[in-house]
Amino acid sequence: MGLTQEVADYVAEVKYKDIPPEVLRLARGFILDGLGVALAGATDECSRIVQAHIKQMGGKEESSVLGTGFSAPAPKAALANGVAGHAMDYDDTQLSTSKEAVYGLLTHPTTPVLAAVLAIGEKQKISGTDFLLAYIAGVEVECRLADAINPHHYQSGFHSTATLGGLGAVMAVGKLLRLNKRLLVHALGIAASMASGLRENFGTMTKPLHAGRAAENGVTAALLAQSGFSAATNILEARRGFYNAMAGGYDDSKIAGRLGRPYFMQEPGISIKPYPSGSLSHPAQDLILDLVQKHDLHDKDIQSIDVGTNSNVPNALIYPMPKNALEAKFSIPFCMAIAVLERKAGIAQFVDRKVRQRRVVEMMQRVTLSVDDELEALGYDRVRSRVRIKLNNGRTIEGRYDIARGHPEKPLSWAELSEKFRDCASLVLPAKNAEKVIELVAHLDQLGNLGMLMRSLASGKNNVQKKNNSAANSRSTKWSRTRKP
């Protein structure tokens, strides 16, 4: 049996009763986090442009566009919500099972799958258990396919969230539509030919578009397959198929017989972001915040900051002197500078006006990023980061973190996830709606119709089309408050 058929068989056969309780618990947390970052992202300029474009296109009002109060055809709602979910780079990240893998290769698994499932799920009036099952199946496929791909895929310039996210999304939607094994194979073939997304667009509005298009492609491909549209039946493993054409191959041992054995959410796991920036910056971000607080450091005390990492970090965090908030999300100098100056790194910090402030620019000029040979030799399964702060009084303070908060080995509690959700949701939802969403997600297995959740998510206190960015620029973020080490 070929790999394409194996994936289709898993999706067709998996049942809710097969899902371990721990995976269901983890999934509820990832879903709550994904909903929160999408609500916050709905206020971003890139989301507003996409929302306006979708409204101009018109069409049947099938599925909600989160935080806006309007609906759109299911594929376009998936597009808008996928863009919103990735707009702030605050969505979860997949870990690697191998020290040899390129860390940045792996995906932001929730956003494409969740956006697709919400769009079709609302249209189909699905139950909470169907929602959970489809989401878990889609994320499992996405993560296993990503883990197996040749690292050349990412190294050559493809954005894996865009390419592999669409494959997870189409399988999740196929599960909701109850496609049989034959149709699931065709749906996967259609989605594979839609896969695209280039890393050169990191730091621009097109990066979140990648996640949106992955979700939209997943919905479209599944609906086409349902209608009888055909595709190759061996698209993953074929000589001219997805893996060979887009990556130069794959490691069969990382996926054959491993779907749901164990679930990727359990091992090695998925990391939830504590900061709205590129995940490769997070161990260093955690560390600088702790050092600044522990030693009560201020910008006037600091001569220089050197961040040492493995080579994947400068390969992805490519902006030494960012010009705007989008670039700042991929800038170690900004992440270090804002931590020193504000002792926070939340939504309120990653905004254009902060990036352009003179004091921030001056602080960024004192930060360097270099490859640490010792950390490089340890492999890429963790984002090992060393921060060395040279003070004006001659002292040097340094430390090393290998993981950040939100990593499976340093997980966020439900209370912490709820706090992050409230902070994100406060941009568009009344507090009572936010609390309702938290309660509904906590008991998704008891939800009879997804419409109840969607109504709570769509009831914006301010239509994001009219909302001024100053609200996000000026607000104080409870979630980003540093904790004592």
pLDDT average, residue stretch 326-353: 95
What is the C-alpha separation between 345 and 407, in angstroms, rounded?
17
Q: Calculate the CA 143 to chain-centre distance.
A: 12
More confident residue, 217 or 95: 217
Summarised one tens digit per residue, pLDDT across range 125-158 is 999 999 999 999 999 999 999 999 998 998 899 9
Q: What is the pLDDT of residues 158-201, one digit of tens each?
A: 999 999 999 999 999 999 999 999 999 999 999 999 999 999 99
The average pLDDT across 67-73 equals 94
Burial-class residue 425 by CB neighbours within 10 Å (0-12, 13-18, 19+).
buried
Residue 465's pLDDT is: 46
Give 256's pLDDT tier (boundaries 50, 70, 90).
Answer: very high
Q: Residue 481 — very low, low, confident or very high, per pLDDT cuts 50/70/90?
A: very low
Highest mean pLDDT among 64-73, 75-84, 271-280: 75-84
Closest among 160, 192, 159, 224 to 7, alpha carbons compared:
192
Nearest-angstrom CA–CA distance, 88 and 278: 9
| C-alpha to C-alpha distances, 189 to 185, 225, 372, nearest whole angstrom | 6, 9, 42
- Name all contacts of 446-451 with Cβ < 8 Å and 24+ positions apart: 446/128, 447/127, 447/128, 447/131, 448/127, 448/128, 449/125, 449/126, 449/127, 450/118, 450/121, 450/122, 450/125, 450/126, 450/127, 450/128, 450/131, 451/122, 451/125
SS3 per-residue string spanning the chain? CCHHHHHHHHHHHCCHHHCCHHHHHHHHHHHHHHHHHHHHHCCCHHHHHHHHHHHHHCCCCCEECCCCCCEECHHHHHHHHHHHHHHCCCCCEECCCCCCCCHHHCCCCHHHHHHHHHHHHHHHCCCHHHHHHHHHHHHHHHHHHHHHECCHHHHCCECHHHHHHHHHHHHHHHHHCCCCHHHHHHHHHHHHHHCCCEHHHCCCCHHHHHHHHHHHHHHHHHHHHHCCCCCCCCCCCCCCCHHHHHHCCECHHHCCCCCCCCCCHHHHHEECCCCCCCHHHHHHHHHHHHHHHHCCCCHHHEEEEEEEECCHHHHHCCCCCCCCHHHHCCCHHHHHHHHHHHCCCCCCCCCHHHHHCHHHHHHHCCEEEEECHHHHHCCCCCCCEEEEEEECCCCEEEEEECCCCCCCCCCCCHHHHHHHHHHHHCCCCCHHHHHHHHHHHHCHHHCCCCHHHHHHHHCCCCCCCCCCCHHHHHCCCCCCCCCCC
User: What is the pLDDT averaged over residues 438-461?
Assistant: 90
Whether the per-residue pLDDT at 467 is higher than 70: the answer is no
Tell me whether strands 302-309 and 367-371 are parallel, antiparallel or unpaired: parallel
CATH of domain 279-401: 3.30.1330.120
Q: Please report, for residues 132, 209, 268, 308, the alpha-carbon distance to residue 47 in angstroms, rounded to integers and kept in the order given.
A: 26, 9, 32, 34
Query: What's the mean pLDDT when you consider all of the chain?
Result: 93
Distance of CA 239 to the CA centre of its chain: 30
Q: For 257-305, write each residue's pLDDT tens digit.
A: 999 999 999 999 999 999 999 889 999 999 999 999 999 999 999 999 9
Interatomic CA distance for residues 5 and 406, integer angstroms: 34
Tell me: pLDDT of 482 over 50: no
Which pLDDT score, from 0 to 100, does residue 382 have? 86
Q: What confidence score (pLDDT) does residue 103 get?
A: 55
Please give the Cα distance from 310 to 325 (Å, whole number). Answer: 24
List the structure tokens of 266.
């359990």
Share above pLDDT 90 across residues of the chain, in percent, rounded to a whole number: 87
| Other residues' Cβ atoms within 10 Å of the Cβ of residue 1 | 8
Q: What percent of the chain has pLDDT over 70?
A: 93
pLDDT digits (tens, 9 = 90+) for 396-435: 999 999 999 999 999 999 999 999 999 999 999 999 999 9
User: Has residue 212 got a pLDDT over 90?
Assistant: yes
Q: Which residues pair with 185 in a beta bridge?
A: none
Domain ranges of the chain: 3-271, 279-401
Question: Rounded to an integer, what distance in angstroms lies between the CA atom of residue 403 and that of residue 378?
Answer: 14
- Domain 3-271 and domain 279-401, same fold? Reply is no
For the segment 384-400, what is each residue's pLDDT rounded down to a tens digit?
A: 999 999 999 999 999 99
Per the CB < 8 A criterion, the answer to whether 423 and 88 are in contact is no
Closest CA to 313 of 201, 397, 402: 402
Indicate the pLDDT class of residue 380, thresholds 50, 70 and 90.
Answer: confident
> Check: CATH 1.10.10.10 for 3-271?
no
Beta bridge partners of 400: 386
Q: What is the pLDDT of residue 96?
A: 78
pLDDT exceeds cutoff 60 at 7: yes
Name the pLDDT band for 98 (thresholds 50, 70, 90).
confident
Cα separation of 132 and 439, whole Å? Answer: 15
Mean of the pLDDT values across residues 118-123? Answer: 97
Mean pLDDT for the stretch of residues 230-247:
98
The answer, yes or no, to whether the previous bond of 208 is cis (omega within 30 of 0) is no
The one-letter code for the residue type at 463 is N
Q: How far apart are alpha carbons 247 and 281 in whole angstroms?
A: 26
